[in-house]
Chain A
Amino acid sequence: MDAVTNVLRLDGVDRSFGDRRVLQDVSFDVAAGRMTGFVGGNGAGKTTTMRIVLGVLAPDAGAVTWQGAPLTREARRRFGYMPEERGLYPKMSVREQVTYLGRLHGMTAVAAGRSTDALLERVGLAERGDDLLETLSLGNQQRAQIAAALVHDPEVLVLDEPFSGLDPLAVDTVVAVLRERAAAGAPVLFSSHQLDVVERLCDDLVIIADGVIRAAGSREELRATYTVPRYELVVQTDAGWLRDEPGVTLVDLDGARAVFDLAPGADEQPVLHAALARGPVRVFRPVSPSLTEIFREVAQ
């Protein structure tokens, strides 16, 4: 696959429900071979955006393109989708319904059956394949849901909260499966409000708040952009004196440990000298902001 052209692109997407504007000029790219985390609070517009990508909802304005062309139903049939609200047929066996979904995506009966067997093996459900879905535990139903999203070997994956409700083992399985797909060249867009999972998993990040994209880019870029000069200092005694140090803004103070920001352009070395002048310094290091912190700052 060509990594340059295999881009899923949202361009100026607007959407309202009645008078409520849910998405406003939403634009971002999901690049081939990369895991793109889609992050935002409840009601920020993640699900609506994903539904528009999948053609389940129509945008009021704007467009979604794949490989440079506007999305058609035919193209979307090669997408894999895991909606936020999960569900399969309770009274059908796992194997039968995953095969059925494969066929609805245009596979032949033989190909769908083969793919189903391989996937059920992969997500650890091979032995439960002939059981009715309703007899499976919730965790196993989630695994079946993953199989349902992947059965037709999709070109693009869009997963709404794929990790919610998964036990840690299942999270690892799903993460591994998604990484395989990304490594094979598929763009993978997934939303989550478990920021630690996103942090661990994503290559790129899109942050949405109140229907507006607040930040989008690779994780490193965002880190660099949103990194304020922040340091952690641990001394022998109380670090409260930092409060009066010029250019220092205290973020956190806990006895001998302090986290502080430096004013733009200020040098950190004078602070270190000042600390050493007062006694031993145990720790002095720059702190990269966590995704949670970036998110808090951006989504304000």
Chain B
Amino acid sequence: MNTMQATRLVAAREIRVKLRDRTFLFGTLFFLLIAAAATILPPLLSGGPSSVAVTAAAAGPLREAGLQVRTVPDDRAAEQAVRDGDVDAAVVSGPAVLAMDEAPDDVVTALSTQPAVRLLDPDAVDPVVAFLVPFAFAFIFFITSQTFGVQIAQSIVEEKQTRIVEILVAAVPVRALLAGKMIAGTILALGQIALIALVALVGMQFGDSGGLLSLLAPAIGWFLPFFLLGFVLVAAMWAAAGALVNRQEDIAGVSTPVQLAVMLPFFAVIFLNDNATAMRVLSYLPFSAPTAMPLRLFTGDAAGWEPLVSLVLLLVAAAAFVAAGARVYEGSLLRTNGRTSVRAAWRSRETPG
């Protein structure tokens, strides 16, 4: 059996155990419900065109505008219909529009003449969407890398804490253990995101946001490779953090730098997303690139070559972190007395190759 086979066995066990973990299953279900709710509910709640009460004489233009028209004998009856809540609005002679507490824009528009509008940048993104999409990307990366990173650390500590690690190390190369855990974490994380994305896509079809979908598609396409490498980068740090301690309750203490490395870029991208210079810098820094670069692509600020360069930088950083994480992991895995310092772990490579 070679390292690759050992890695596969380790990864398979990690995934099997995780898929039986109630907390993980409920967590995933929860995210799926949120994704479904966020895409299906808003169009349903907005409730379609307004219903309007009007005398038969004035009903024509309103009907043409696609509103639900109810004809009433006179203005008094129209006003009464609004007061009774039978309709959203009424049009009375004047013409004047009556409504209870909210101006019915679609009724007003139907009765107004409007100048012709010519969009010079028809692809530009709705400001609300322009805020929500980057937030969603950053949030997904933040939550996922945090959740699955912690799980990698916990799984490493479990093996140290129960001492089974000594049997494992005697049987398979240390690198196979680490690789197996990181691969399992990556597969689970990507799997969960893919499921959420699938539900969101189906939800958008239901909710009739197809236009947004075509806008999002290229950004999502780029988000995947960035997410993958960014996740590996963060997971390597979590693995090293986990290997340094021997008890689950000590993970929090040792992982502060890791948490900051994920949290600071998250907030930077959220708060600086309309600052072009800041975003350009963030889209090249390995820790913020996974969210900042897809975002710039989404808003159309990035040239075609930019994501490639950023991706290469991220790849180099991820490779370096995996190598460093592996060294710390190897150097501290068998130190089961108290907490190991990074320096001590870096220096000692206990196991023969």
Contacts and interface: CB of A to CB of B under 8 A. Distances in A.
Interface in B124-167: 158-159, 161-167
A100 B159 CA distance: 14
Interface in B23-60: none
A92 interface: yes
B167 A89 contact: no
Interface residues of B, number: 26
A104 B171 contact: yes
B122 interface: no
A88 B164 contact: yes
Given A85-B163, A92-B17, A56 B169 contact: yes
Contacts of A79: 170
B208 interface: no
Nearest to A83: B166
A102 to B, nearest CB: 10
Contacts of B336: 85
B94 interface: no
Given A103-B9, A104-B9, A89 B173 contact: no
B163 A56 contact: no
Nearest to B13: A100
A157 interface: no
Contact of A104 (B159, B166, B172, B350): B172
Nearest to B171: A104
B166 A91 contact: no
B239 to A, nearest CB: 18
A55 B170 contact: yes
Given A55-B352, A105-B171, A100 B9 contact: yes
B168 A58 contact: no
B169 A91 contact: no
Given A77-B1, A104-B6, A54 B163 contact: no
| Size bracket, chain A contacts | 20 to 34
Most buried by A among B163, B165, B166, B170: B170
A249 B158 CA distance: 57
Contact of A76 (B17, B168, B170): B170
A19 to B, nearest CB: 14
Given A103-B9, A104-B6, A106-B1, A54 B164 contact: no
A56 B334 contact: yes
A91 B161 CA distance: 13
A114 interface: no
Main secondary structure of the interface of A (DSSP, over half): loop
Contact of B171 (A51, A58, A90, A101): A101
A106 B165 CA distance: 17
Nearest to B172: A104
B166 A58 contact: no
Contacts of B80: none
Contacts of A118: none
A190 interface: no
B163 A101 contact: no
A87 interface: yes
B341 interface: no
Interface string A70-87: 000100110101010111
Contact of A83 (B158, B159, B167): B167
A148 interface: yes
B121 to A, nearest CB: 56
Contacts of A87: 161-167
B351 interface: yes
Contacts of B165: 87
A73 B167 contact: no
B164 A104 contact: no
A57 B162 contact: no
Most buried by A among B10, B163, B171, B351: B171
B334 to A, nearest CB: 6
B172 A57 contact: no
Given A89-B158, A104-B171, 20 more contacts: A56-B166, A56-B350, A57-B334, A57-B351, A58-B351, A76-B170, A77-B171, A81-B166, A81-B167, A83-B166, A85-B163, A87-B165, A87-B167, A89-B164, A92-B17, A101-B171, A103-B9, A104-B6, A104-B172, A149-B167
22 contacts: A55-B170, A56-B169, A56-B350, A56-B351, A57-B334, A73-B173, A77-B1, A81-B166, A81-B170, A86-B163, A87-B161, A87-B165, A87-B166, A88-B162, A89-B17, A90-B158, A101-B171, A104-B6, A104-B9, A104-B172, A148-B167, A149-B167
The 9 closest A-B pairs by CB, nearest first: A87-B163, A87-B162, A85-B163, A58-B352, A83-B166, A106-B1, A54-B170, A87-B164, A104-B171
Interface of A: 51, 54-58, 73, 76-77, 79, 81, 83, 85-92, 100-101, 103-106, 148-149
Interface of B: 1, 6, 9-10, 13, 17, 158-159, 161-173, 334, 336, 350-352
